[in-house]
A and B are shown apart, each in its own frame.
Chain A
Amino acid sequence: MTQLIDTSIYTAVTEAIQGEARRILSEGSVSAVVGYAAARRKGSAQPVVITQADDSGKLIFSAACVNNLAVYLTKAKKDIPKNGKIGIVVKGCDLKALVGLMGESQLKREELYLIGVPCAGVLASTILPDTALTSGTIASKCRECGERLPQGCDYTPTVTPPITPVLEKKYAAEIARLEAMTPAERWAYWKEQFKKCIKCYACRQVCPFCFCEQCLCDRNKPQMVETTPRPAGNFAWHIVRAMHLAGRCAGCAECERVCPMDIPLNLLNRKMAKELKELYNHEAGFEVREKGPLAMYDEKDDQSFIK
């Protein structure tokens, strides 16, 4: 049974974002604000960078504001002028990515003005943006979200996120389903998924943690990963990507949302997060950490798998 999810706070959130953006831009305390604006199609939204206080009215927040805007602050995205402090609208999941980027020397907290969004959830897909947020259309990440209210922002509208219905945790269930399979069955599952991949690299391009200026997988001396979108190269690409994000991924699930081939990419990231939690008690959070779980060690780490 689909349940409607209460997004009534988004009107207040939108107003608050507009007000705060107007204030910080007119004060000159930030040079730009990265946020969301409405687009042509009914109900749609797209990322926007505003530099004038007068444009603040363009900013919105709705269930279609799916993007993780943190990607615009990384080095891979050279197009946002990064002179001076930048304001950015963040959901809880986006903030975790920003925090991760700070830990990886990509961003400095003092160069950011964080506008936190109390979030009731966003849509899983914006193929049809004019869709009501329900237990059927809500993004899988929101189903298991524990960070509806971002912590440590410079400004957070004083609205309380509504109590959302308890929803089935799709990732956890799907991971459990796959784990219960035999290796051959899992291989068959992923083979069919990865086969669809066309190497459009949307997953990489939207990922805040894929900030490498030259991706390993774009290199040809040596060619570590076959660039051709064939099953073999696709498999390698997604394994390497998941490995590179292990212990870093903040769980925004943008890779999965943007995949035009519907490959459940975030399952890989969630699986790695689950393992790293079990092995090293690591979880992405709101606190900046100097070292991720795969950049450190403990002499007593589990080695039961080593003969």
Chain B
Amino acid sequence: MQKYLSENNLKALLDRLIADGKRVVAPRMDAGTPLYGPLANSGGMVMDKLPRRSAKETFFPVCEDIMTYGKEGQKVNLTDIDPSTFPETVLVGVRPCDAAAIPVLDAVFSWDYKDEFFLERRRKTTIVGLACTKADDACFCTAVGLSPADPKGSDLFLTPLEGGGYACETFTEKGEQLINNHTVLFTEPNGSQPLPPAEPQTEKFDLKKVKKWLDEHFEDPAWDSIAVRCVGCGACAFLCPACHCFDIVDEGTEKAGKRRKNWDACGFWKFTHHASGHNPRDLQPKRYRNRIMHKFKYYDDKFGQSLCSGCGRCIRFCPVGIDIAAIVEEISKK
């Protein structure tokens, strides 16, 4: 289905959704930083900035409670969290790199164990994607086979038009539903041309070749020279739209507390630290190698694609300037 949505109608749509009791999540400013977050009304939406963190947290929050415990006398009471209470959500203004990563996460959260926390949020969320018209030199979606106008992962995809407003295209029932529920706001296409898409780094990686090298080079001196500078923080993994490792922690007191699921990162020293004190990934190059391996080999081995959508966040925000695009490019040339 193809429609036209004016900027004002987009705002009206969001306000109507909010009025309907839906949770509308869109890029907004949080204490000076663009982040995806729930809106009280459409006025808070910021469409021209790539949110600092990816859209994954809509389904896979930074931290979520999965169980609570309480002690009553000698008795311990456990209470599960009921995912059915999660709100109906519309996620608006998702960039193609973020949206494309969502099906990647779907695969991982449902292949053997069905993660109800993730899946329930996923079921209840309609994703409205937004094509990019700007790119910087950290962007590399095109290099991993996506594009600034790729609707992958979106239920409804918006493309900014030269004459203002957006061309809307639906890709799923959810997307059609959204239009059908608010037909007055969506008009027929008016022939205005899309704004020229952004032009990120265009040279496409030969991911097959990269994978082949990775298959054969678990041990290689290159890892040291690549990752010697890595300081072991989790910025790359936490900003990444596709990284999905988490840690389960129990927090609280003797009396009461919660079991929580928190984001985790393979760059952390503690990530593979055994209770015995042994750490198989004792040095940072081994940890960084895992990041590359997971993205371009392990995930591919299992699901037949890579775990990177080229958003470039890890490049922009790596404290020590590690550039995954440069690394993959170098590997592909080996």
Contact = CB atoms under 8 A, between A and B. Distances in A.
Answer whether A and B touch in the complex at a CB cut-off of 8 Å. yes
A195 B33 CA distance: 11
Contact of A47 (B33, B137, B285, B321): B321
Nearest to B314: A260
B270 A218 contact: yes
B323 A40 contact: yes
Contacts of B284: 77-79
Given A201-B268, A226-B251, A45 B31 contact: no
Interface residues of A, number: 48
A228 interface: yes
Interface string B215-259: 000000000100111111111011100000000010100000000
A41 interface: yes
A13 B224 CA distance: 28
Nearest to A261: B33
Contacts of B227: 79
Contacts of B237: 200
Contacts of A44: 321, 323
B238 A228 contact: no
Contacts of B282: 78
Interface string B281-311: 0111100000000000000000000000000
B63 A41 contact: no
A80 interface: yes
Interface in A69-87: 71-72, 77-80
B234 A200 contact: yes
Nearest to A230: B63
B315 A202 contact: no
A94 to B, nearest CB: 14
23 contacts: A39-B326, A40-B326, A41-B137, A46-B323, A67-B319, A77-B284, A79-B283, A127-B317, A195-B31, A196-B33, A200-B237, A200-B239, A200-B265, A202-B233, A202-B235, A205-B233, A206-B319, A220-B249, A233-B251, A258-B319, A260-B238, A261-B33, A262-B33
Interface of A: 39-42, 44-49, 67, 71-72, 77-80, 126-128, 130, 192-193, 195-196, 198-202, 204-206, 218, 220, 223, 226-230, 233, 254, 257-258, 260-262
